[in-house]
Structure 1
């Protein structure tokens, strides 16, 4: 039995902690904040409740596996998890709207043909089929296995629209196709382009620079479905936390780690802000790998040949501006859970968020995601409704409170396309801008020379591992959960472990 210190109580860190505890290790989690769950936060006031991070779960098999492997019971024994159907409704700039069924390829094709014209569904379906090829080629190395030491092969885009020889086009050099390139070439219709690129934007990605393989994002959603837990995504965080506690993982909150102890070239524990120390044979860092050198007193845990941590610089990171709306009046029957109201001027939105020519700012008319869960736990009674709006904004988005409130006004106005009469129903609102370093970590993607990969879970310091959305295999609840599974596999089975079978 080894002592293991885990830094942070995010979803990846807790997933690792639960698996390591079941393997017989003594696990202690040190979290500088007051609670657990990382990005899966919740804002509550006057009987209303709102998710403040991701609002839906994709790839629920990740957490089903976690609960089976750490307790031989289904995830659904802990949370009420239901498919959202329709998966989403999209309102485009020209006023056209389409509702897409959950996890139904044929249904999506039919819905797009009916709403956008004959042939629209077939064009979308053809692109998703190519995305499936990219998914099949990269699922294991980008989701189930430790980052390959020869990671550069993943810098070649597996999206098959540009024909390359071999699995990743070995010997042909990296492709440079972007998501925007394939959208314009293969979809043509600006509404289909907006549909595709909204998936990238929701993950903080600029479609003009993201690799063509980012088409796997709508593929995953359309294939594996969209799921919502009663109580919001925070309920999933609570369930994982309770599983850790049941497996005797120790948690210390308000415990900031200020240093990682290295002894004889190996991680040997952590130092805390209050002067205490904790000895450990392994340290699992559930934080941005870019912070590791400071905790290691200047030592770099990654070599020059490794995937480097992404520094928040250069004006290219997107965060999430969230507006929580408490509404008077009942949620109407047949209300769609998630509606995406697309921006009228796509180019202007991308320029504002990602800084074309250095001119970054809050977009005048952003793409707004409107969440209206049919969840009694989100409202004080059935005569009220909780609605959450979110939009991609630059990080940092500035300290000008008036500008942020004005952006929230514009988001609320846009959301009336999803909630008629919205502004007249508002009892109160809470505007939650992203913290200065709270950029949205996207899932790792192949292509573009490896720029969209995340630092490996193994570091150059024996006994020190990185976990969570900013390490391999990237961001989002499911990917964070897989990050935890990979780190636990490396510690339990050794650094030569190649991943789940």
Structure 2
């Protein structure tokens, strides 16, 4: 077996490192910062603790598989997983409130019938059936296999099914997620519910392909989970699994270039000029952040496209509150923007910064109610997140944070009176920690390949890509899948066609 150099200690990179070590390779991870986990960070202050990256875990089976394949202790022995119920409370501009049960189609249908109105649950349930069809058509090529050489099949083929149109007496196929909401759901609140899943990844539903319907389907089908102590605990568990498999970590070691020799990847060059030899190199960061031939596409592979350009970022506001949460507080509340069109225009960066910073965004309010994240039972830690345009500066971020606080008052009664202090984390803060300020979206079929990510193989032999900026895209489950795909390609070779 050979030496493997992994660039970055994000979740996809560590998933690859652990699996490759079990396969017998000598693996070294080079991380430019002083810690692991990528976007899974924690902020601690005055006895409060906050997840500054993702706060919930969809599709935990990906990490269960990682732990099964890399050791004797299953995931549940290393972290405590808790299924959140309800999965979310949605607050709409007209005052409608709906609590959606976790992983229960029947429960969701009933909740929507009661809160939104007669027929709403039936329409949403029918939509979920079509979302499942899109999922079934794309699951294997987009999640469980390396990107096909003939990836253009995925670019042009829309997996979301056609829907009969009563008045036209024929079927029609939605091209975008917004069209799905407009044509099929029959209520602006249901359309907002649908679009919020795309907005969370910085996708504009007016341009996102209809196949983005798999995002709400995944949540409803497989549920949402919380890791006791915060999602940072999942990063810790994966890191410790790597150490147990004798993966070496080099923190404060920034890889700036992939070394090429005789047409193959031969190692990495660090910022201090040190050359580290390797038989295989895995780029676990955004591809364009490391110099080398992998930054351009080889014939037949997907060009980096949106992975290398500006994409929307995530604005996070950390709240330290006095007093315990109310009895009916829920883990996650989505407070929908009062002006959808203005929000989407602001997200694309079309208006000047001064105008877009006055638009109230859709805000996600996370209230874990976890004793590990607060000084005592007389306090509460809360995290607000919103998607913001690329290039949002500190001044604009502060203005938007004020609007987020105002929106969050609908989800947290008495928020202003309870507030001890708050911190604003901008996309620039994320960039300092991870090297990229944007929110990588999951790979999606259709849409002319705009949301296909660069493949796990490259134009250079023995050079691979893993993590959210490569196939199969962003999100914790997708990052973990990328690690499995890279492992299969290294262990089994270029003929590998399925996840390990």
Secondary structure of the residue that 1:320 maps to in structure 2? Answer: strand
Q: C-alpha displacement at 1:162, in angstroms? A: 5.8
Contact 2:305 2:450 in 1 (8 A): no
1:369-388 matches, cutoff 5 A = 369-388=364-383
Q: 2:228 aligns with which of 216, 226, 230?
A: 230
Give me the whole-angstrom Cα distance separating, in 2, the residues matched to 1:58 and 1:176: 26
Q: C-alpha displacement at 1:374, in angstroms? A: 1.8
> Structure 1 pair 200/225, CA: closer, same or farther in 2 (3 Å)?
same
Q: In the alignment, what sits opposite 2:277? A: 279
Bigger mean CA offset, 471-480 vs 36-45:
36-45
Give me the whole-angstrom Cα distance separating, in 1, the residues matched to 2:307 and 2:345: 18
Secondary structure of the residue that 2:427 maps to in structure 1? Answer: coil
Q: C-alpha displacement at 1:176, in angstroms? A: 6.9
Q: In the alignment, what sits opposite 2:413? A: 420
Give me the whole-angstrom Cα distance separating, in 1, the residues matched to 2:20 and 2:389: 37
Give me the whole-angstrom Cα distance separating, in 1, the residues matched to 2:48 and 2:123: 41
Q: In the alignment, what sits opposite 2:327? A: 333
Contact 1:49 1:379 in 2 (8 A): yes
> Structure 1 pair 311/191, CA: closer, same or farther in 2 (3 Å)?
closer
1:405-416 matches, cutoff 5 A = 405-416=398-409
Q: In the alignment, what sits opposite 1:166? A: none
In the alignment, structure 1 residue 303 sits paired with structure 2 residue 302: no
How many aligned positions are there?
Answer: 485
In the alignment, structure 1 residue 161 sits paired with structure 2 residue 162: yes
Using the size of structure 1 for normalisation, the TM-score is 0.94
Q: C-alpha displacement at 1:409, in angstroms? A: 1.3
Give me the whole-angstrom Cα distance separating, in 2, the residues matched to 1:184 and 1:212: 12
Q: In the alignment, what sits opposite 1:150? A: 150
Using the size of structure 2 for normalisation, the TM-score is 0.94
Secondary structure of the residue that 2:58 maps to in structure 1? Answer: coil
Contact 1:362 1:393 in 2 (8 A): no
Give me the whole-angstrom Cα distance separating, in 2, the residues matched to 1:327 and 1:6: 40
Q: 2:357 aligns with which of 336, 359, 362?
A: 362
Structure 1: 5+ residue stretches without partners: 164-174
Give me the whole-angstrom Cα distance separating, in 1, the residues matched to 2:294 and 2:308: 21
Q: 2:251 aligns with which of 232, 250, 253?
A: 253
Give me the whole-angstrom Cα distance separating, in 1, the residues matched to 2:134 and 2:437: 29
Q: In the alignment, what sits opposite 1:443? A: 442
Q: In the alignment, what sits opposite 2:45? A: 45
Give me the whole-angstrom Cα distance separating, in 2, the residues matched to 1:311 and 1:117: 39
> Structure 1 pair 362/496, CA: closer, same or farther in 2 (3 Å)?
farther
Contact 1:353 1:362 in 2 (8 A): no
Q: C-alpha displacement at 1:327, in angstroms? A: 0.2
Contact 2:315 2:385 in 1 (8 A): yes
**CA RMSD after TM alignment:** 1.8
Contact 2:295 2:304 in 1 (8 A): no
Q: In the alignment, what sits opposite 2:182? A: 184
Q: C-alpha displacement at 1:382, in angstroms? A: 0.6
Structure 2: 5+ residue stretches without partners: 165-172
In the alignment, structure 1 residue 76 sits paired with structure 2 residue 76: yes
